[in-house]
Structures are given as structure tokens and as C-alpha cells.
Amino acid sequence: MRRNMKKIISLLALLVCVMSLAGCAERETLPKEDMYKANSDKYVALLTSQTEEELNEQIAYLEDNFEDFEQEIALYPYLMGSGSKFDFTADAYLALFKSYVSNMDEFGAYVGVKEYEGGVEKDGEVTYDVVYEFEKHDMRLSLVYDSHDIITTVTADPIYSTGEILQKAGMNTLLGMGVVFAVLILISLIISCFNFIPAIERKFSKKKAAEKNSPPSPGRHRRQGPQKAPSRPAGRWPGRQKALRQALMGCLRQGYGRAGSPSGRYWRPLPPCARPFG
């Protein structure tokens, strides 16, 4: 048993050594090492020489005029007359300022260069890292160059100690567990409320049954009085109708009416007095 434990421990130690050597082997001396170092120092000096307000103004200007900035970068060799391209793409240049400003509170005051970690070349791209010392937390500036030595990606991240990393991990764990327990408590409260639903339902059903069985109240069905018939609208010429009626009544009084046959089936024409409208 002890021999097996020793073998396992020795294998783990060997694996750790191999991984550390592999990690060291990835960092190599690049042909343009001096250029990468100088560029990193130049960009950090540009960032640390400005206040937070000035950096925010520059970020706002670049965001508002981003398309014009892209055109200026494309025409940079002709505008400068040197034929050399701009060091950054438009997105990478904006990311340089935004990444630094978002972590300014974590960095504090600038002290100086701490370590050139070197670069890694892969698929025609070079990633070069440099660690800079600040009062609160050190900063690792990582620049990715394409095959034409144009910077396409920029990150400026604070470096936390192991204790700070564990503290943040613990806080995140506690926060997640607290959220889970709060949700479980809420679910249990909702489930406990299901016991009151049948009682409430019975109460409402009893109330409805009592309303059905109760006699109707005297004021519920009141007898409605006679409704007045709708009055007919007045004629178009009420004065002429009245005159016509008076003329007809006068003719009847004078003896005009059915005549011309014993049966009285024919009507005599009305005298002129009965035709007031000509």
C-alpha cells in the first residue's frame, strides 16, 4: 500500500514538472522581441500620462466618430507619407483605452515595468505579455499581433493574489448558495399555501348556494308601469293635412259620398271644395 502511494505521488510530481517545463518552453525569444517590448512600454506610458476624465473623453470621441477613425487608419500610410501602417486596428485601439479605464480603480498609481513575460507565436500571430507594477494591483498587458505586426487584440487586466482569488470564489459560492436557498424557501411557502385553497373554495361555494336558495327580495322584481307609445312624428305639412280633413268633413255634411248606382259601389268625384290642393 505504501509503495503504491509513493508511486502515485512520484507520478504526480513528474506531471507537474513536465507541465511547468512545457509552459516555460512555450515562451520563446522572438525575432522582434525588442519591438514588442518598446511598443508595450509606449502604450502604457500613453495610458498612464492621462487622467481618467481625459481617457473617457477620448473614448467618447472615438465611439462617436468610429467610422471616420476607421477610414483614417486605412489612409494612414498616405496621410503620414511614411508608407507604414497604423499600429492598431480601430477596434483594438478603442479596446486599449476601455480595458485600462474599466480597471483603473484596481491599479492605482503607476510604478514601472515589472516583468517582460515574452511572447508566443501561433498560426502567424504573436501574443506578447508584459507585467507592469502599480500601487494596488499589477497589470498584465497582452497584445496580439497579426502577420503584418498590426495589433488586433488588447487586454489590460489586474493580477490578483491567490488569497484574493479564493476570497472572490468564496463570495460567489456563498451568493449562489444564498440565491438557491431563497428560491427553495419561496417554493416551500407557495406549496404550503395550497392547504388553504380548498377551504377558500368551499367558502365561496357555500356563499353561492345560499344566494340561490334565498327568496327574492321585494325590490328585485318591480312591476313596471305602462309605457307610453312612441309619438308619431308630425307630417311634412301639418297645416295642409288639417285643411284637407276639414274640407272632407264639410263635403260629407253636404251629402256627397257614394252615388251613381243602387249598390253605391261607385264614388262621385269630390267637389272643388274637397280639393284644396288643386
- Is the CB of residue 69 less than 8 Å from the CB of residue 75? no
Model pLDDT, residue 234: 52
Rounded-to-integer distance, Cα 113 and Cα 42, Å: 11
Regarding whether 154 and 73 lie in a shared domain, the answer is: yes
Q: Report residue 132 CA to chain centroid gap.
A: 38
Q: Which residue has the cell 498587458?
A: 141
Model pLDDT, residue 241: 66
Helices 66-74 and 52-64: angle between axes, nearest 10 degrees? 80
Confidence band of 211 (pLDDT split at 50, 70, 90): confident
DSSP letter, residue 260: S
Q: What percentage of the chain reaches a pLDDT higher than 90?
A: 51
Confidence band of 12 (pLDDT split at 50, 70, 90): low
Confidence band of 9 (pLDDT split at 50, 70, 90): low
Regarding whether 173 and 153 lie in a shared domain, the answer is: no
- Is the CB of residue 69 less than 8 Å from the CB of residue 92? no
Regarding whether 193 and 252 lie in a shared domain, the answer is: no
Model pLDDT, residue 26: 54
Model pLDDT, residue 1: 55
Regarding whether 155 and 33 lie in a shared domain, the answer is: yes
Regarding whether 265 and 176 lie in a shared domain, the answer is: no
Regarding whether 75 and 44 lie in a shared domain, the answer is: yes
The parent domain of residue 248 ranges over: 241-274
Rounded-to-integer distance, Cα 155 and Cα 157, Å: 6
Regarding whether 186 and 101 lie in a shared domain, the answer is: no
Regarding whether 170 and 119 lie in a shared domain, the answer is: no
DSSP letter, residue 274: G
CB count in 10 Å sphere of residue 156: 24
Tell me whether residue 249 is in a domain: yes
> Going along 71-217, which residue ranges are E strands?
110-122, 125-134, 138-145, 151-159
pLDDT tens for 139-153 read 999 999 999 999 999
- Is the CB of residue 256 less than 8 Å from the CB of residue 271? yes
Regarding whether 155 and 245 lie in a shared domain, the answer is: no
How many domains are contained in the chain?
3
- CATH number, domain with residue 60: 3.10.450
Tell me whether residue 15 is in a domain: no
Model pLDDT, residue 177: 93
Query: Cβ neighbours of residue 89 under 8 Å, at least 6 residues apart?
Result: 73, 150, 151, 152
- Is the CB of residue 250 less than 8 Å from the CB of residue 275? no
Helices and strands in the chain: count of H runs, count of E runs: 10, 4
- Is the CB of residue 231 less than 8 Å from the CB of residue 243? no
Regarding whether 86 and 39 lie in a shared domain, the answer is: yes
pLDDT tens for 218-238 read 555 555 555 555 555 555 555
Q: What's the pTM? A: 0.57
pLDDT tens for 247-256 read 767 666 665 4
Helices 52-64 and 90-102: angle between axes, nearest 10 degrees? 150
Regarding whether 142 and 104 lie in a shared domain, the answer is: yes
